[in-house]
Every structure is written in structure tokens, then in C-alpha cells.
Amino acid sequence: MSGVFRATYRLLQRQAHESPVIFYSCAIGLVGPVLLVAVPPLKKGLGYKPAEPIPLSYPVPDRPRRPVQGYDDEPAPGSRIGISIRSWTHSTTRPAMLAARRSITLTRWPWTVHSTTRRAFATQDLPDDNKKPRKSTTPLRRSASASESLPIRATRTPTRSNIQPVFTLATAERYLLSRLRGHLPTNSQKLYDSWWIPRWGKSAEGEVFVFGNGSAVFWGLEEEEAHRFTLEVLRRVPDVEVSPLKAPETEELDFVVDSDPAEPTRLQGDLIILGQGPKLNDVEPPTPLPPMAFPAETLFARYAFSQALSRSTALSALEVSLDDYLSSMALLPHSLARTGKPGMGRTALVKKLGELMKFRQGLNLNRENFSDVPDFYWGEAELEKYFNSLSRALDVKVRTDSVNEKINYAAEAQSVLRQLLTESSTHSMELVIIALIAVEVVIALIRDGPELWELVTGAPEHSKELKTE
């Protein structure tokens, strides 16, 4: 028996010397099952405790449900309305009570409070501007105080024109402004970062600024005229739109023209007042000036307000695209928690990474980004004041920070995706290496198997005699 072990040891020693890759691969492979059996008891003996499993649902408290109180739509205790409602509910069937609750309105204040849900929704009637209802709401209309522009809307003066709309429409991520040359109306001119159409419209004449960030600003024109300009002018130019939007983004404000020498140009609430023109240092208006729909002295003020509006609308388009992207990635955590897999292929994951990089580049790195003030305003303090005032009113910086935070969250999700891609690639490589080692082991057994068998069965001398003969 000692001869058998001695012969086996010599064979292993020779194999380690002649075929070290195969020998040590087999040795490492044999260590794995040994560690699988020996390591868990060793860890337990050393005091290791496994981590608790991650909960997959919210814990439900072991107590009765507490009634919810203190909402704004509940009447004060002891009030006449509250007593009548409570006494009525005790004597009325539930279907009839629910049907009647939908029609109950409390007209105690100038707001109309509908008691259809647990939370109150209030709407207040503002003075009418003798205009049709607006088709779109903007962040400025939601956030601006109506009292700031209400005195100007309610008071008419001989020097002040009627209230007119300024409408912004974005239809693409970018416009190639160089392709518009020769396709715009004959009175169009290039005005710094935009194309300026001083007079356009059929039912009413207005002014148009077309910017390279995929938006156009219309002064004195309604929404129908803006869409008609897009269809009849912009979209007739081949390949002028880069990455058209699924749905147009809009922004709408109002403005008045005031010829009073004491009225400065400014933004008041949600109303732009075009009064006296700003003092310019370096910029000069184009010469000769073509006939235009509005005063020439406020041309650059309108340009500054227009550029701020176009940025806000382009940012709205980016917000919508990012929300769609995050919605497409919303199932990733659920898929990972349920199956341990991302639920999409490698190509789809790489495309998602590219989309995220595109969002970050469009927000911070492009020439028309949302963080920096354009170079045009560096030497023009008055114009920069107009641009910054409307940007602040539209919460451009706050919304940009919010979009960056969403992108940071998406980047964290993408880091998980990158780790999954790396782990899947590493796992595949490990399987390939194991298969190659198995092939090498099979080849070694085929080549040296007979000799190993003779050594194990105890017939080494017969093989030596055959070799000497």
C-alpha cells in the first residue's frame, strides 16, 4: 500500500512540474468543496451572525386604526353647517348621502370649497381681462401674486395699450438657425442668438423671436397664430428641427406698452410692462430698422424677456423628457427586488445610460445651458436685469437644481445597472474559465489515464519490462 501512495505522490509531483496549469487548477478546484463544508461551521464558531433579510413591505401596526381629524374641509365643531350635516347623515341612507355630498358647496367665503374629498380645493375669481380663457398655465401664473399686476390690469390710462399676450412655443430640442436663412419672411433679420421677424400675422400683427434651443416667442399673437407660424414657416424648412418633441411645450404671459416717460420697462407680477427703453452700452440695433409691430426703443428689452421665456420653455421640455425617462426606469427596483434581475437586456441598459448622459449634457454642458447668463448681457446691466427678473419669476434656477437632483438619482440607478453589467460579464467569464479547465482535465485524463491506472492497480514493474524490451 505504501508503494501505491509513493507512486501516486511521484505522479502528482511530475504533473506539477510538467503541467503546472492543469495541476494547480485541479488543486484549486478541489479546495472549493472543502471550503464549502468547512467554512460555515468555522464562521459560526467565531461568532459570525448573518444579516437580517431586507423587509419587502411596510410593517402594519398592531393596534386599531386611529380616526383622522383636523382637515380644512371639516366644519368647526358646533357650527350650524356642521350640526345640520351631522344630523342629516344619521337619517339618510348611505347612497343618497354620497350622491348629495358631491353637490354640497360651502359658500361661506369668496372661495368655492367643494367637499368631494378630504382635502379642500379653493378657487378664487379674479377680475376678467376681457379675454378668452387661457389654454395653458405656466409656473409664473401659478406662483406670481395676482395683486402685483392687478392694479395695472384694472386701471386704464391714455398712455397704456391694451393687454396683449406673449406666447412661447417649443417643438424640438434644437433649431438649426443656419437652415432658416432664406426661408423666413423678407423682413426677418438675425439678432444675436435668434432670428427676429419684426412683423408677422394675419388676423393680428405681432413680433416673433426664434431661438436655437427649439423654441419661438410670439409677441402680440395668440396660440393659434403661433402654431400656424410653426406649420407654415418653420416646418417647411427641411431638417430644421433636431429631435422633435412628442408634444409642444408652451408658456404664456401678458404685456402692455406704456408710452409714459415716467414708466420704466419691468416685470410686475405676471405682466411685462414695456415702458421707456433701457440704456445700452455696447449693443446697437440693426440698421436700417424695418417696420415693426412694437416700439423700437424696447427692442432689446423684448429680446431679453424672450430669451428668458425660451429658456424656461426649453427647460419644461427637458423636464417632461426626464420624467418619461424616470417612468421607464421605475420598474427597475421592483424587478430587482422580485427577481434579482434588471428586467432588460444589455443593449437596452446601455441605451439608458446614453439617454442619461444626453440629459446631463443638455442641461449643463451645451452652449444654451440653463445655469449661466448669456455673454450678450455681460456689458448690459439693464438687459441683464430684465433677463434675470423673468428667470427668477419662472424659477429657472430652482427647476434646474430639481432636474439635476433627479439626474443624480437616475445616475445612482445607472451605477446599479453598471454593476449588474459588470457582474454578469464576470460571471460569464468565470463560466468560460471553468469550462476550459474542465476540458484541460479531460484531456489530461485521456493522455495520462492509463499510466495512472497502472500505478493505482499495482502493476508498475510490468510496464517497466515492456519499456526495456
Report whether 210 contacts 195 (CB < 8 A): yes
Predicted confidence (pLDDT) per residue in 250-287, tens digit: 999 999 999 888 889 999 888 999 999 888 888 888 88
Average pLDDT over the chain, rounded to an integer? 77
Predicted confidence (pLDDT) per residue in 247-258, tens digit: 999 999 999 999
- What is the structure's pLDDT at 458? 67
pLDDT at 67 over 80: no
- What is the structure's pLDDT at 59? 66
Q: For the CA atoms of the chain, what is the radius of gyration?
A: 38
What's the pLDDT band for 233 if we cut at 50, 70, 90? very high
User: Looking at the whole model, is its pTM more than 0.75?
Assistant: no
What's the pLDDT band for 60 if we cut at 50, 70, 90? low
What would the mean pLDDT of 394-398 be, rounded to a whole number? 90
Predicted confidence (pLDDT) per residue in 341-387, tens digit: 777 777 787 788 888 888 877 777 666 677 788 888 888 899 999 99
- What is the DSSP code (8-state) at residue 234? I
Tell which wins on pLDDT, 344 or 436.
436
pLDDT at 89 over 60: no
Domain extent listing, the chain? 1-34, 139-314
Q: Where are the alpha helices (DSSP H) in 194-258?
A: 223-229
pLDDT at 309 over 90: yes
Q: Using CA atoms, how far apart are residues 3 and 7, in angstroms rounded to an integer?
A: 6
Tell which wins on pLDDT, 369 or 215.
215
Q: Using CA atoms, how far apart are residues 467 and 451, in angstroms rounded to an integer?
A: 13
